[in-house]
Amino acid sequence: MATLRRIDPRLQIMTETIEGLIPGATPAALSVDVTETLAGPGERSNSWTGSPAALAQKLFTALYGRPDAGEQLSPLARAEDAKRARDLGAEVAALQQGHSDLTSAPWYPARPGDLVHVHYEAGGLSDAFGETYRVTASDGGFLSMQLLCHTLPDTEDLEGLVGCFAVDDDPDPLMELWFEAGPHRLTIVREGRPVHIGGA
């Protein structure tokens, strides 16, 4: 049975303090915007946008080092651990945080042309392998995500392992992949540049 990892109380306090800046707000609906306005013609600016948890983690890392150098889990795996521990609050929080982390990312939502690579560690069914998906516009008005290639050897049983996150005409094609595989396994490339590097 997997054990539920406890969040460092200092990180929890930082996260709750940032979320508490707007009393009564729903944490999953919050985002933090930091803007630098540069003097000069046109008043250019630089900005950073993220979830309260992402800002708290940046602050925590600057003060104390990385808060969790252990095994990374997908939002769904964290929720399942909490469910096994009979902690409904932690289960709901894991799902809300996973949704917030995706929807508050500066590159979100997915766009046609995005490439999404997912890396799978070696397990009981296969060696380590990767898949790359391409996001395309669909005829129904939403987006599709099609398997472009994979690195699983042809000698392995491909059924159920390869292409399971392909979707057709989906308003949010990354949602299932983000929750099940986890953001730490994903690399997303837009216009030739990585916009999300999992595990980094």
Q: Is this structure's pTM higher than 0.75?
A: no
Q: Is pLDDT at 118 greater than 80 in this prediction?
A: yes
| Sign for the pseudo-dihedral over CA of 45, 51, 52, 57 | negative
> Within 10 Å of residue 86's Cβ, how many Cβ atoms?
8
Instruction: Please determine, for residue 79, whether its predicted confidence score (pLDDT) is greater than 60.
Output: yes
ω into residue 171 within 30 of 0, thus cis?
no
53 conformational bin, left if phi > 0, alpha if psi -120 to 50, beta if neither: alpha
Span of 60-74, 91-105, 117-131, 138-152 with lowest mean pLDDT: 60-74
Q: Which residue has the tokens 């925590």?
A: 60
What was the pLDDT predicted at 8? Answer: 66
- Residue ranges per structural domain of the chain: 9-103, 115-197
pLDDT of residue 76: 81
